[in-house]
A = this chain, B = another copy of it.
Amino acid sequence: MAKWPLPDPMRRALALAQEAVVAGEVPVGAVVVKDGIVLGEGYNLTRTDHDPTAHAEIVAIRRAATALGDDRLTGCDLYVTLEPCGMCAGAIAHARIARLYYGAGDPKGGAVEHGACVFEQAQCLHRPEVYSGIGEGEAGKLLRGFFSERR
């Protein structure tokens, strides 16, 4: 029985999460795509860059916005290996991301299906379509491996 193949951008996000492990960063990767073309990608860089805002999603969004020369990523999709936190969900709304695809859910820090449920707030000015659980097995394995080594 063939396994359903992951979409290319999620496979790339998982590869980026693996690079984060090598860099000693929490293994989360993210890719911004428009019409099949990667506009920005990245992994968690909070320690490397001394930047508490440098989660994978923020890194990928900032790079894509620079590439487009626009602070709005209209029509763009974001693939990320972990459920975004509140900061990143806010950035996704500000950036006008059209579709959000994420891997593992994050009961401790996620703010899409957990906690603040950012996109369900009446205040939220832009709600992306959201698809979860894409590559969650692989994403969760990377995260568990990373944190078990540090305990």
Q: A residues bordering B, Cβ < 8 Å?
A: 46-47, 49-54, 58, 61-62, 65-66, 68-73, 85-91, 93-96, 108-109, 111, 114-116, 118, 121-123, 125
Contact = CB atoms under 8 A, between A and B. Distances in A.
Contacts of A111: 86, 90, 116, 123
A68 B50 contact: yes
25 contacts: A46-B71, A46-B94, A50-B68, A50-B70, A50-B71, A51-B66, A51-B71, A52-B61, A52-B65, A52-B94, A53-B53, A53-B58, A53-B94, A54-B71, A85-B94, A86-B90, A86-B118, A86-B123, A87-B87, A88-B90, A90-B90, A108-B123, A115-B121, A115-B122, A116-B121
Contact of A85 (B47, B54, B72, B90): B90
Given A86-B86, A88-B90, 11 more contacts: A46-B94, A50-B69, A51-B66, A52-B72, A53-B53, A87-B93, A90-B111, A111-B123, A114-B123, A116-B118, A116-B121
Contacts of A93: 87
Contact of A50 (B65, B90, B96): B65
Interface of A is mostly: loop
Contacts of A122: 115
Nearest to A114: B123
A65 B49 CA distance: 9
A-B complex: 3 closest residue pairs judged by Cβ atoms: A87-B90, A115-B123, A86-B90
